[in-house]
Amino acid sequence: MFKISEFSKLSQVPAKTLRFYDQIDLLKPAYTDQQSGYRYYKSEQLLDLHRILAFKDLGFTLEQIKQLLNDNVSTAEIRGMLRLKQAELHSLIQSEMERLRRIEVRLEQIERKSDSLSHCEVVVKKVEPLMVATLKETTSRANIPGLFEEIDEYLKWNGIPLPVPHIVMWHGCPECESSIDLEIACPIPRKLQDTARFRTMELPELTVAAVTHISRPDMDTPVSIDLGSWIEENGYQISPEMPSREIYLSPQEGNKLWYVTESQMPILRAGFMQ
């Protein structure tokens, strides 16, 4: 048998860690001297220790590892725990990739500050009724480009020539990250056959405060600050019943991720709702 110092050197795991594993019943010494308290380990315990380190490397907690090392845990149960961890890591990677994209967009927005289109001017205008094909989804903003592609395929299948502007209508919770209630809409010249996924509808006439700027559909934009300030300063109120809209008119030349965009906020004269 090996003293804890020898087992530590052999396994390259600190003695402090081995003592902790003993305390939580994760890896008990083969023998503990009751008088001196010295811990002794057998060489075959290296296999258990390596399994612990392997599961730890995969991201399992020590409590989960104890369960995985239990003799009563079946191969099917271990497989299930590994698949759950796999799904958890996929979700984490996706979340961090979206965070990385947001950082990249912020950097690009900083670089674009001198762009003439970045100086936002708010205008009030009437939006006429418009027939559109729509696709409603509860999702994250990062998935909007994919929804654009999906509705484009539906339009092509129905013989509608592309490209067409894409309208995003925000029905609720734009700050909910992965649970945003939104609707993608595209103008169409005629009524199309509804499906389980798509429907034809007419958007109503609206009075909106609108601002044109450069943005990406998969990232939020700070122009809502300009719209909010302008609405407050000019005696308007935001319509409580109509969703705000972003109209992605055309991709920027040389960079298809960025669009010339018109953000529209439905408004009423202050006091109109009383």
Inform me whether the pLDDT recorded for 205 exceeds 60.
yes
pLDDT of residue 117: 44
Residues 155 and 146: their CA atoms lie apart, in Å, by 14
Copy the structure tokens of residue 36.
Answer: 């001196």
Q: pLDDT per residue over 108-156, tens digit each?
A: 656 655 554 445 688 899 999 999 999 999 998 889 999 999 999 999 9
At the top level of CATH, the class of 119-269 is alpha beta
Residues 136 and 194: their CA atoms lie apart, in Å, by 13
pLDDT of residue 266: 94
pLDDT, greater one: 148 or 175: 148
Residues 160 and 244: their CA atoms lie apart, in Å, by 26
Residues 49 and 10: their CA atoms lie apart, in Å, by 11
How many residues can be counted in the chain?
A: 274
pTM of the model: 0.59
Q: For residue 261, count CB atoms less than 10 angstroms from its CB and return exposed for 0-12, middle for 13-18, buried for 19 or more.
A: buried
Phi and psi torsions of 154, nearest 5°: -65, -40
pLDDT of residue 112: 58
pLDDT, greater one: 202 or 177: 202
Phi and psi torsions of 120, nearest 5°: -85, 130
Residues 128 and 130: their CA atoms lie apart, in Å, by 6
Inform me whether the pLDDT recorded for 274 exceeds 50.
no
Q: What is the arithmetic mean of pLDDT over 234-252?
A: 88
5-35 burial, b for 16+ CB within 10 Å, e for fewer?
eebbeebebeeebbeebbeeebbebeeeeee
The answer to whether 155 and 131 have CB atoms below 8 angstroms apart is: no
> How many angstroms from the chain centroid is the CA of residue 11?
41
Mean of pLDDT over the chain? 86
The domain made up of 2-73 has a fold known as Multidrug-efflux Transporter Regulator; Chain: A; Domain 2 (1.10.1660)
Residue spans of beta strands (DSSP E) within the chain: 2-3, 31-32, 39-41, 123-127, 130-139, 166-172, 180-187, 199-203, 206-215, 236-238, 244-252, 255-269
pLDDT of residue 116: 44
Inform me whether the pLDDT recorded for 65 exceeds 60.
yes
DSSP classification of residue 129: P
pLDDT of residue 106: 65
